[in-house]
């Protein structure tokens, strides 16, 4: 019969054969698996791709747009491309073709996405029927806005439109407390009906009124490759100038002016009507 010592030696021998750890020594520590992206190459790669996609999205021309807005922007660009292609294929001179299609092209660039184009054949209002030769005037003239919106990305257009929509806010400063939401292009909110005399009359028309105050197209020009920040700065400059000169109040007075009216030497109406900006709505 084997002694206890012999049994212990036999067990130790079998342990060496089977590569068991020596009971007298330390047990090898199990290597801890690192958790998180540092220990997972696939997860690290996924995070790198996501970061690259997020950076690209911030610089994309559709950045900041909802999926619906992006779809509308693509549709609008297709319409604009068709107009530009038609102009290129025209047999008219570039000047004559621009005279014909320029307004439609500006409208497509400036009218907010999803905003219907004003139907100019609409029935006249009671006020318009009383006017002497009523004419429609763009509150934000297409020519003035052309330099700001020309070649602007959908991302930039949305920023510009948001600026317009909140510019005439109430003194409270609440951006949601808007008095009159300005919009560009041939949108309903960008029209005010004036009598022909007050619109284009020699010496007293609203266009002459603007010119006498130094509000001319040459002062609001941008390069075709202007940045978003440059466009926003120029829009701020234009709106501030119009506001400081009392342009919006002048339009209200002209829209609701009586048949006989008086102006000062700068063509400004002498008798304010005390109406709100919402009176501009057609």
The pTM of this model reads 0.67
pLDDT class for 62, splitting at 50, 70, 90?
confident
* Among 111-125, 200-214, 261-275, the least confident range: 261-275
Which residue ranges make up each domain of the chain? Answer: 117-280
Output the pLDDT for position 273: 45
Query: E-assigned strands of the chain?
Result: 134-138, 168-169, 178-180, 191-195
Mapped onto helix, strand or coil, the DSSP state of residue 169 is: strand
Which carries the bigger pLDDT value, residue 271 or residue 137?
137
- Copy the structure tokens of residue 111: 């009218």
Residue whose entry in the numeric block shows the structure tokens 């036999």: 10
Rounded CA gap, 232 and 159, in Å? 8
pLDDT at 238 over 90: yes
Q: Would you call 186 exposed, middle or buried from its count of C-beta atoms within 10 A (0-12, 13-18, 19+)?
A: buried
Rounded CA gap, 79 and 267, in Å? 40
Average of per-residue pLDDT values in the chain: 75
DSSP character at residue 223: -
Output the pLDDT for position 105: 87
CB under 8 A, 24+ apart: contacts of 105-109: 105/80, 106/142, 106/143, 106/145, 106/146, 106/149, 106/185, 107/142, 107/185, 107/186, 108/76, 108/79, 108/80, 108/83, 108/185, 109/80, 109/146, 109/149, 109/150, 109/152, 109/157, 109/185
The neighbouring-strand residues paired with 191 are: 138
Angle, CA 183 vertex, CA 181 and CA 186 arms, to 5°: 140
Q: How far is CA 54 from CA 128, 220, 273, in A?
A: 52, 34, 52
Rounded CA gap, 40 and 44, in Å? 6
Q: How far is CA 87 from CA 73, 81, 96, 99, 102, in A?
A: 21, 10, 10, 11, 9
pLDDT at 20 over 60: no
Output the pLDDT for position 129: 65
Rounded CA gap, 79 and 68, in Å? 17
pLDDT at 17 over 70: no
Mapped onto helix, strand or coil, the DSSP state of residue 201 is: coil
115-133 residue pLDDT tens? 998 875 555 566 666 677 7
């Amino acid at each position: 019969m084997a002694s206890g010592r012999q049994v212990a030696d036999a067990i130790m021998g079998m342990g060496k054969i089977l590569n068991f750890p020596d009971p007298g020594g330390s047990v090898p520590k199990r290597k801890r698996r690192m958790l998180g992206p540092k220990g997972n190459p696939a997860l690290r790669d996924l995070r790198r791709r996501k970061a690259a996609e997020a950076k690209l999205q911030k610089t994309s021309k559709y950045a900041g747009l909802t999926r619906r807005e992006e779809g509308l922007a693509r549709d609008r660009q297709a319409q604009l491309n068709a107009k530009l292609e038609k102009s290129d294929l025209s047999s008219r001179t570039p000047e004559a073709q621009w005279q014909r299609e320029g307004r439609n092209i500006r409208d497509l660039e400036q009218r907010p996405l999803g905003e219907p184009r004003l139907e100019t054949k609409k029935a006249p209002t009671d006020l318009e029927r009383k006017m002497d030769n009523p004419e429609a005037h763009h509150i934000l003239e297409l020519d003035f806005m052309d330099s700001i919106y020309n070649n602007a990305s959908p991302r930039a257009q949305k920023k510009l439109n948001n600026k317009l929509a909140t510019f005439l806010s109430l003194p409270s400063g609440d951006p949601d407390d808007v008095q009159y939401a300005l919009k560009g292009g041939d949108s309903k909110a960008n029209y005010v009906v004036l009598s022909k005399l007050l619109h284009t009359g020699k010496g007293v028309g609203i266009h002459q009124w603007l010119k006498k105050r130094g509000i001319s197209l040459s002062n609001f020009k941008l390069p075709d490759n202007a940045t978003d920040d440059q466009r926003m700065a120029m829009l701020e400059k234009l709106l501030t100038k119009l506001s400081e000169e009392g342009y919006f109040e002048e339009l209200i007075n002209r829209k609701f002016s009586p048949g006989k009216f008086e102006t000062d030497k700068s063509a400004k109406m002498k008798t304010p009507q005390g109406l709100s900006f919402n009176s501009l709505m057609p």
